[in-house]
């Protein structure tokens, strides 16, 4: 493809895309997590461009203004994978290097399982293989870390509470309030403000929460399959949402070359460790990581 991809359509919805780097570079598709947009990758992408890669980062279902179907059924994993597969097909460049963080990682795992012909390599960030995550829920403290998933099932209240919290921080004239909010969320100021602007203020939050609400109406499906794609999983030691057990179990669900990378960071690896993460992605892409 010789032109920039600024959007694509699937299921009648239009998705925004950030397409950067050398047009003739090998494509790397970057899938964001919750509660973020394609802008999550703004610190990682330049380091991939320096290595000659072209990055394509979609703002996914529920987040793109033109792709906000109502009802949780529209956010089941098969629909999210369908979006990713359509984007890769739209590029017309053959299989891509696929990277996902958080929920984007879950979509990446499922895409690699359902469409191995579309994925050259997989780099999953934070979220382990779905079955490894499920097993970690009953063999570690992961269930306690995931209590918020149950809270997110409540209608209306989570989006109201989260939106109100972001707006309260913005309107407060007390630096201590903002400092406590950043400490609690483990975000930096730029990231916090971007989520407020791009997700809360645009009305995307209720739709983004549907990703969690759809979990109870659709099982892991194809995501239960082992992945043959060469894969690197990245976990961080200070992740408040995901424990080490899921990362350790993930190796059992990859039949191709596999490597686990552990970084000293919070859950927000793309913002905190962009240089190291770009290096890990590139190493998996060019096969030089030894895994």
* Active site residue ranges: 102, 212, 267
Please give the Cα distance from 283 to 291 (Å, whole number).
10
Is-contact 35 205, C-beta < 8 A?
yes
Rounded-to-integer distance, Cα 235 and Cα 247, Å: 7
Q: With contact defined as beta carbons under 8 Å apart, do 207 and 63 qualify?
A: yes
37 in helix, strand or coil?
A: coil
Residue 251 to residues 125, 254, 255: CA-CA distances in angstroms?
Answer: 14, 6, 8
| Interstrand relation of 119-125 and 258-263 (parallel, antiparallel or unpaired) | unpaired
Tell how strand 96-101 and strand 231-236 pair up: unpaired
In terms of Cα–Cα distance, which of 177, 184, 291 is closest to 241? 184
Q: Which of 59, 83, 116 is nearest to 231 (CA)?
A: 116
Angle (CA) 54-39-132 rounded to 5° is 85
Closest CA to 215 of 153, 145, 136: 153
């Amino acid at each position: 493809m010789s032109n920039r991809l600024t959007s694509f359509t699937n299921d009648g919805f239009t998705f925004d895309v950030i397409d950067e780097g050398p047009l003739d570079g090998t494509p790397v598709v970057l899938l964001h997590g919750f509660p973020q947009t394609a802008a999550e990758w703004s610190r990682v992408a330049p380091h991939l461009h320096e290595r000659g890669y072209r990055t394509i980062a979609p703002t996914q279902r529920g987040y793109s203004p033109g792709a906000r179907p109502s009802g949780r059924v529209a956010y089941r994993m098969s629909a999210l994978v369908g979006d990713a597969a359509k984007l890769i097909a739209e590029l017309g460049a053959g299989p891509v290097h696929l990277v996902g963080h958080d929920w984007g990682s879950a979509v990446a795992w499922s895409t690699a399982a359902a469409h191995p012909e579309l994925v050259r390599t997989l780099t999953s960030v934070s979220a382990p293989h779905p079955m490894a995550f499920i097993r970690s829920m009953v063999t570690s403290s992961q269930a306690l870390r995931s209590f918020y998933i149950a809270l997110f099932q409540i209608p209306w209240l989570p989006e109201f509470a989260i939106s109100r919290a972001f707006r309260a921080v913005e309107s407060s004239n007390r630096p201590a309030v903002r400092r406590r909010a950043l400490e609690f969320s483990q975000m930096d100021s730029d990231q916090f403000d971007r989520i407020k602007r791009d997700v809360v203020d645009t009305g995307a939050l209720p739709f983004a929460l549907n990703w969690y609400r759809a979990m109870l109406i659709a099982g892991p499906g194809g995501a239960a399959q082992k992945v043959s794609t060469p894969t690197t999983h990245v976990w961080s030691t200070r992740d408040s949402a995901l424990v080490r057990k899921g990362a350790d179990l993930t190796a059992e669900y990859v039949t191709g070359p596999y490597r686990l990378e552990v970084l000293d960071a919070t859950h927000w690896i793309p913002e905190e460790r962009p240089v190291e993460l770009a290096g890990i992605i590139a190493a998996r892409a060019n096969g030089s990581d030894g895994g």
